[in-house]
Structure 1
């Protein structure tokens, strides 16, 4: 518990988020944790045998740098791997962790001791300064039930080694050069294929963005963000909303009762663009110019206190989950909203100097992607108020599941690396959103061109429709090492960027006609577009 206040991980993680069955208040969440390798498969799969050997050697090197002798450090590495393997054995897989229903398990506070004797929850919550809890939401109850036997499986000295490792591992990126490079060598070079560390200024910006991101964001917005970009985004969002409403009304596979509830949910949807209406106040954090890791601890203590204090209180709808400079966007199911930070409103995602066709292909499709998340295999389980609530008829639920399975099958068939296929189940939500996003944005562009025929121009030899698909593809340009690609396929809910650029265009019935003049009559792929 004391380590958690400093941002140092342990056997499980704490979070405060909107209660997914009462989204108007913040609730306490506990989830499985305790692994330093990316997920449970790395501890058992034969293809990671070499990674496990390198991991033990990395732990050994870290303890040698800390001051232990060679043999003791090697034994410590073996101990850490044994404990983490025991935790991994009881952990859910990345695919299982995508199910919001199975991850919502509410327990009354007074029942926790009986349900999970190994948790010692009263001591834990006392350490993190959290009192007066009525209930806790536990993501993976079977993991917490097994903690007691795992704790008894190892000696107190073993657990001290494990916790020492967690402290060293958390601190390593912020310590002196030898430790920082040892950490980089394993977690970035061996796991992800990155050959050189980021430049010092990039690391500095990244650290500030991670720990005091809204302070950095305020400066970024003042210097880099134009209100003209925000106005064009707002116009695009309205165009896309109009198409999405019509799509819901015209769905052949969804019944009227579910359609009415879907439209009611969408009527409550909102979009945030650029930056929050108010910024987090970091002024109480003590920052010293010569104590980097102490600054990190102070920031983590501030954040944990901010989160513990809000549990049981009304949700602040103006808070953001991303910082303004972030090059990304998200959909929040409990808030029923999409958020586009200022950082993503720059080329190649958005360019105020470009015509609508390019921006509808890149940013417009991304906006529609985020809108679609409210109705993907996870988002569809939340109602208009952001609560986990089954609002679908059994018939429509069955029809959606069948169509979603065709998306799973398509992406499962794609070989991203020799012998390694995309995990269609893990990436399902993002793939549905990609395919739907491109389809909705293309129709929104066509409507805009019809209303404003003067915008239909051939530029650099390309029609608006061609520029649309090129805009989408350009937004996913990337260079990626094979190691990082393998990591992504096993851990990330997003398909690799190259596949994201290609497949949503390929299955779109307008794509072939746009570039060849021929119709794409492949009904199988047309049916994959769910929304």
Structure 2
């Protein structure tokens, strides 16, 4: 449950350039009044799908760290620890473009050959565990994640694989986006296979078979809207019963080999897929499955080989987002290496550009916001005393993580980079260590100290299973937070971000988890019914709004919209408690942080799959629910930003 739709391992930044606010337009379109002058001159870089508030920070961090890591490669900057030294070796290999060209695509071929050599499903069974351990795609995903009803311990999760297109809705008859995208996917995949030595006819057949199997999967997986109902991920099933549903694969033997155990119960996030597996994973489909595995493997390998292979491999992804050109090879090397050593890079960034003093200062802000939230829960006029007390208990148990972890995840100590091996082979070895570590969680208590984002990520999140809020260092800068901004502007930025993440503990998903992070209904029936009615009102407030030639899906975005509403109203109350309150600055910075200019393709992609509403609507719709917005800007009933009091949605 994140603040924004993207995460990007990135760092430092400067203050956002000021642009004039159109005062006459504030009552008609807050977002355009604040960001219109910026939008008129903003251009989307060719290697981007968007630009604006979040991406500006991402770009600044990228520039800063790329400069630092050039110094690291030349010896001007020394590694602070063994993990950073290993990162340096990988980064050096990623930047050795001459060696990468000399190596060519050869390192990928043995993995494709292993798939090509399969003769039937029995043969796939014999190799299935090894394939999983080296990270090859398989028609069933095996996961080890915290048990949603007992989050101190891990559970086995069995899931469907991802589709080629972004969402199952793209497979519906007449979908125009699919009609444009699938030919690009096809030509990209065929060209990659050709570059690996496959004949034109063979490449055409392999891709056709892969698409045929992919199309068979699509009706039996969840759409993004269905998946947004997070609680419905929890579908425990008897493992032996699931194994019978997948009669042509040895599920029991595979689980035993991966975990050293066969748990009695498995969690199925998408049970409809397993209801169909005996029609999907069949001897008749074997060639389709094999070729589907090959195409997935080819795409997975595009970033670590030659420059041409990377450029061609990114064609489909760029078509999805409307990105005009690929990143430079230097940027691609940066993201490949920093993504692999994300927490190591985050530790470096956090300690150099954030530090312990800033961590303590922001933590105080978070504690202040939780106090404001607690007072609002106490004063809530529709919660019963019983539910209110449970909500406050949950809030008081909330874990707060700010800036960067105290220690680097021990996993990174296991990563080895051999200078005598190719970049691809080193990345493969690291991947195998990470996979072994992942399945090694089985039977151990859940590590609640672990972070799911590195400190150089411009984002924030709430984890319902840990009942924790996490604010990486990268987001804790202007325009979200700066000593050069007024307290009201900071509350409209980072204050609303903090309260947004707190609000996720009480959105339609997070509210169903207790103070320990366990899936557990702590509501009275009457309170729950009332809350669901308010959530329905939030769905209706956004549902069907025209945007980028499509319409907003209120059900898909409801949890983030509830968090935005709670975050903004709580931050507003905190701003009003300050001596130097300036609500104009508060609302203007709220609109400012959502500044975004994007390609049409990217906006339409997000409308289909993203649980967040479009940035402009996040800025404009939520303020209409707040009485103080009307008094601050003298919004009248004939103004476009006016919403009748009876229609204003107020939850937290």
TM-score between the two structures when normalised by the length of structure 2: 0.75
Say whether 1:304 aligns with 2:435: yes
Say whether 1:221 aligns with 2:350: yes
Q: Select the residue among 429, 450, 474 that pairs with 1:319.
A: 450
Return closer, same or farther for 1:524/1:209 CA change in 2, 3 Å cut-off: farther
Say whether 1:500 aligns with 2:622: no
Query: Per-residue CA shift, 1:271-304, capped at 9, x if unaligned?
Result: 1101112211323222134622222222221222
Q: CA deviation at 1:100?
A: 3.4
Contact 1:229 1:345 in 2 (8 A): no
Return closer, same or farther for 1:155/1:429 CA change in 2, 3 Å cut-off: closer
Further displaced range: 465-474 or 219-228: 219-228
Q: Which residue matches 1:169?
A: 299
TM-score between the two structures when normalised by the length of structure 1: 0.92
1:130 and 1:174 mapped to 2: Cα distance?
32
Q: CA deviation at 1:366?
A: 0.5
Q: 1:273-312 residue pairs with structure 2 within 5 A?
A: 273-281=402-410, 282-289=412-419, 291-312=422-443
Q: Which residue matches 1:254?
A: 383
Coordinate RMSD, CA, aligned: 2.1
Contact 1:42 1:52 in 2 (8 A): no
Further displaced range: 351-360 or 487-496: 351-360
1:183 and 1:414 mapped to 2: Cα distance?
35
Q: CA deviation at 1:530?
A: 0.7
Q: Select the residue among 187, 199, 223 that pairs with 1:57.
A: 187
Query: Per-residue CA shift, 1:500-528, capped at 9, x if unaligned?
Result: 222222322211221238797832343x1
Q: Which residue matches 1:31?
A: 159
Q: CA deviation at 1:376?
A: 0.4
Q: Which residue matches 2:48?
A: none
Q: CA deviation at 1:24?
A: 1.0
Return closer, same or farther for 1:246/1:402 CA change in 2, 3 Å cut-off: same
Contact 1:130 1:308 in 2 (8 A): no
Say whether 1:529 aligns with 2:650: yes
Q: Which residue matches 1:432?
A: 562
1:344 and 1:205 mapped to 2: Cα distance?
20
Q: Larger relative CO (CA 8 A, sep 6+): 1 or 2? A: 2
Query: Per-residue CA shift, 1:354-382, capped at 9, x if unaligned?
Result: 23222111111010000000010100111
Contact 1:277 1:318 in 2 (8 A): no
SS in 2 for 1:374: helix
Return closer, same or farther for 1:118/1:240 CA change in 2, 3 Å cut-off: farther
Structure 1 gap segments, 5+ residues each:
457-463
2:542 and 2:283 mapped to 1: Cα distance?
41
Q: Which residue matches 1:470?
A: 588
Contact 2:159 2:269 in 1 (8 A): yes
Q: Select the residue among 462, 480, 491 that pairs with 1:360.
A: 491
Q: CA deviation at 1:43?
A: 2.2
1:87 and 1:351 mapped to 2: Cα distance?
49
Return closer, same or farther for 1:253/1:30 CA change in 2, 3 Å cut-off: same
Query: Per-residue CA shift, 1:115-158, capped at 9, x if unaligned?
Result: 44244213433564654545322211221231221122744333
Return closer, same or farther for 1:8/1:508 CA change in 2, 3 Å cut-off: farther
Structure 2 gap segments, 5+ residues each:
1-128
2:290 and 2:544 mapped to 1: Cα distance?
46
Further displaced range: 243-252 or 363-372: 243-252
2:367 and 2:285 mapped to 1: Cα distance?
61
Say whether 1:400 aligns with 2:531: yes
Q: Select the residue among 599, 608, 611 that pairs with 1:481.
A: 599
Q: 1:57-456 residue pairs with structure 2 within 5 A?
A: 57-125=187-255, 128=258, 130-131=260-261, 133-152=263-282, 154-188=284-318, 190-281=319-410, 282-289=412-419, 291-418=422-549, 420-447=550-577, 449=578, 453=579, 455-456=580-581
Return closer, same or farther for 1:500/1:138 CA change in 2, 3 Å cut-off: same
Query: Per-residue CA shift, 1:160-205, capped at 9, x if unaligned?
Result: 21111111011112221222111211112x1110012223343233
Return closer, same or farther for 1:231/1:352 CA change in 2, 3 Å cut-off: farther
Contact 2:321 2:602 in 1 (8 A): yes
Contact 2:538 2:561 in 1 (8 A): yes
2:429 and 2:333 mapped to 1: Cα distance?
17
Q: Which residue matches 1:13?
A: 141
Further displaced range: 397-406 or 503-512: 503-512
Say whether 1:3 aligns with 2:125: no
Return closer, same or farther for 1:327/1:130 CA change in 2, 3 Å cut-off: farther
Contact 1:412 1:424 in 2 (8 A): yes
Contact 2:252 2:262 in 1 (8 A): no
SS in 2 for 1:242: helix
Return closer, same or farther for 1:149/1:132 CA change in 2, 3 Å cut-off: closer
Contact 1:212 1:299 in 2 (8 A): no
Q: CA deviation at 1:45?
A: 4.5
Contact 1:11 1:34 in 2 (8 A): no
